[in-house]
């Protein structure tokens, strides 16, 4: 069984990196060797295709059902959830907003507040949240079955951050303004949050919405690295691990009966 899980993860990763890195490295090359802008129609198309690498790959490795992986199987994959998922999602969103807002205590005046729901929807379905079909919906649970929670989370988080590397070489992309090491560390911590949320809700959609919320909050709230931020990060990590532990304990208890 472990071998089967790892084989599926391998297929998922090969296809994901093939789609994403091919698109993004081509875009990086073009922005450095031609007059093409990453904001041009073709540049945006390459960026979007690359961003959907995990999404496409997850659907490709989705286990077939009796009707050969028909739309009903994909719908179940996207919409399944546990009782109380909405409350858990809301709590994660609230605590995450406080995590970023309390250290800074201000919003970015350059981003109109009324755009929050619009950007959240965009981040959920097109630039960030859509990835969760792959990272937390496919890779995390399979690795968790093979290695356990912490190794699975660290492996998924590390792969997720490495997957972003081409963005630092695309001229005009906002990632270049952030030191990669800082992005890497924060990515691992955010992976703990997302893993805890997914374990408790069993919902790909909740992971998508939460990922979109994370990206949106970081658009509206400037990250202020100070003592409050580090304490808040530690508390949020502890909360996510506790949520995961309780969900895992409940799951094992139900299987025992």
Per-residue three-class SS string for 56-76: HHHHHHCCCCCCCCCHHHHHH
Q: Which residues contact 193 (CB under 8 A, 6 or more apart)?
A: 92, 96, 210, 214, 236, 237, 240
Domain assignment of residue 251, given as a range: 2-256
pLDDT range class, residue 256, cuts 50, 70, 90: low
| Domain count within the chain | 1
Whether the per-residue pLDDT at 118 is higher than 90: the answer is yes
So what's the pLDDT on residue 71? 53
Residue 31 contacts residue 38 (beta carbons within 8 Å): yes
The tokens of 143 are what? 């690795």
pLDDT range class, residue 72, cuts 50, 70, 90: low
Query: What sign has the CA pseudo-torsion 142, 148, 149, 150?
Result: negative
Whether the per-residue pLDDT at 66 is higher than 50: the answer is no
So what's the pLDDT on residue 67? 44
Whether the per-residue pLDDT at 63 is higher than 80: the answer is no
């Amino acid at each position: 069984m472990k071998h089967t899980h790892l084989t599926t993860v391998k297929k998922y990763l090969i296809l994901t990196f093939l789609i994403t890195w091919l698109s993004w490295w081509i875009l990086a090359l073009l922005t450095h060797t031609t007059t093409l802008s990453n904001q041009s129609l073709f540049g945006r198309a390459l960026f979007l295709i690359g961003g959907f690498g995990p999404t496409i790959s997850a659907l490709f490795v989705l286990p077939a059902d009796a009707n050969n992986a028909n739309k009903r199987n994909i719908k179940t994959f996207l919409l399944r959830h546990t009782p109380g998922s909405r409350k858990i999602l809301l709590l994660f969103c609230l605590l995450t907003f406080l995590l970023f807002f309390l250290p800074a205590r201000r919003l970015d005046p350059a981003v109109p507040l009324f755009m929050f729901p619009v950007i959240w929807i965009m981040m959920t379905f097109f630039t960030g949240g859509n990835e969760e079909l792959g990272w937390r919906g496919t890779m995390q649970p399979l690795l968790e079955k093979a290695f356990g929670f912490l190794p699975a989370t660290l492996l998924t988080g590390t792969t997720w951050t490495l997957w972003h590397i081409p963005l630092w070489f695309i001229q005009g992309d906002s990632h270049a303004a952030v030191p990669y090491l800082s992005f890497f560390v924060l990515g691992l911590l955010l992976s703990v949050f997302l893993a805890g949320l997914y374990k408790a809700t069993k919902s790909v959609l909740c992971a998508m919405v939460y990922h979109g919320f994370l990206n949106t909050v970081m658009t509206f709230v400037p990250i202020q690295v100070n003592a409050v931020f580090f304490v808040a990060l530690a508390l949020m990590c502890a909360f996510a691990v506790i949520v995961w532990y309780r969900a895992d304990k409940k799951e094992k208890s139900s299987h025992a009966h």
